[in-house]
Amino acid sequence: MDYIHEPKLTKGKAFYDHRGVFVPLSLTSHLTWIQSNISVNPKRLTLRGLHFQLPPFAQSKLIKVIDGGIIDFVVDLRKRSDKYLDVQMFDMEPGDELYVPREFAHGFLTTKDNTIIQYLVDNTYEPKSEGSIVWTKFLPLLQKFNKLPDFSVHDITINDKDLVTKNFND
């Protein structure tokens, strides 16, 4: 399979019954996933990101919504690209998967309480290589979020480290 250079959303399926939910994860990829992470978000309007890893520790990610819902967003950090700093947003529900290539910053905002996200990465995490961009640098994100019912910036649950830009100079 050829390397995928752009984010790619795949609408998936979640199977519900009286026992709960079953959500299969697609692993058809050229990549070797080396770590699986689970993000449990009790509150609607929890914001995580924008995060990235600098080379040689850059990571591709496969994001999967297990339960709940998110607005997932990615920013192209490839300086050689004509899409440099473009923002793409994806409304994701249970079963949906988003492939995020290396050299993209990634984040999401939960749209429902008790949202659970699984994501796979293809490279080792290195704290010194970690980067972040404060989401408010990108007007399209605020415009999208403002369309949510009962949205207020003051209601966002966010980690202090996501309020600081790190390893990004543009």
Hey, which residues are catalytic here?
Answer: 51, 119
The CA distance from 142 to 18, in Å, is 38
41: buried, middle or exposed (CB in 10 Å: 19+, 13-18, 0-12)? buried
Neighbours of 50 (CB within 10 A): 26
59: buried, middle or exposed (CB in 10 Å: 19+, 13-18, 0-12)? buried
Q: What is the DSSP letter of 31?
A: S
The CA distance from 136 to 83, in Å, is 19
